[in-house]
Amino acid sequence: MTKNNPIGLFDSGIGGTTIWQEINLLMPNEDTIFIGDQLYAPYGIKTKQEIIDLSLKNVEYLVSLNCKIVVVACNTATTNAISEMRARCHIPIIGIEPAIKPATILTKTSKIGILATKGTITSDFFTSKVKMYPDIEIIEQIGYNLVNLIESGCIDSQEMKDLLRSYLDPMVEKGIDTLVLGCTHYPYLIPIIETIIPKEIKIIDSGKAVAKQTKKVLEELDLLTTRESRGTNYFFSNTDVSILKEFVPSNGIVEYRNF
């Protein structure tokens, strides 16, 4: 393992590019390899074992590409398979989870909303996190079909706007003052969400925290790159790459790969 090996990231689709953006912003000289498992998206409706199997497949592929660390840029994969991934791999694995703790600190009404996939909200991992805050009313909402619409390039569609309103209005009526986005796809919906909820409601996602944790682990292991120029960024999908291309920088290398 060398300092100039790439950082690997994976998600069920393009959502994890929101995490890649934060990592690239914080560590622009690092090479990165992002894989979007779009052939099997979305993960949120799959069984726990299916999520484990897909997550292990992705991690093993990134290890085969000599990644020095893997960032699981998917809440559903983290909450269902992080232990299995860490047990299987010899390199550090960074997970992502809904930012419940920061939300409990920020809330003034002690009411927070969480919008996430079914796979995340029904996981034992997520349930255990919620139980840590008995004095906070946590209003959970499964974002049925949101990932499918994003993956289909329908972010600005009327169907998306109607769906989001049906999920968010009940939370607002219950008095939330903080909204946690518990899926890495959802930050792409923030412009629409901001037209639906009152401006006083804070929106939180985990991207910056994951990037900081990734850098911290690399520093502790003395694995930060020594490169003084900007890194090279690869983006791989196991299906049509046209949607992925819309969410990555123009100088990113986007390719089909069979993984």
44: closest CA among 186, 205, 248?
186
CA 241 to chain centre: 19
Whether the Cβ atoms of residue 241 and residue 50 lie closer than 8 Å to each other: no
Q: Is 95 annotated as a binding residue?
A: no
Query: Is 12 annotated in some ligand binding site?
Result: yes
Rounded to an integer, what distance in angstroms lies between the CA atom of residue 91 and that of residue 253?
Answer: 24
Is 127 among the annotated ligand-binding positions? no
Catalytic residue, candidates 67, 89, 154, 183? 183
252 in a known ligand binding site: no
Residue 74 among the catalytic residues: yes
Q: Beta partners for 34?
A: 9, 235
On whether 36 is known to bind a ligand per the annotation, the reply is no
Is 11 annotated to bind a ligand? Reply is: yes
Contact 77, 175 (CB under 8 A): no
The answer to the question of whether 185 is labelled as a binding residue is: yes
Annotated catalytic residue, options 67, 74, 89, 154: 74
Q: Is 182 annotated as a binding residue?
A: no
Q: Return the active site residues.
A: 74, 183
- In the annotated binding site, the residues are 11-12, 43-44, 75-76, 184-185
Task: Point out the annotated binding site for substrate.
Answer: 11-12, 43-44, 75-76, 184-185
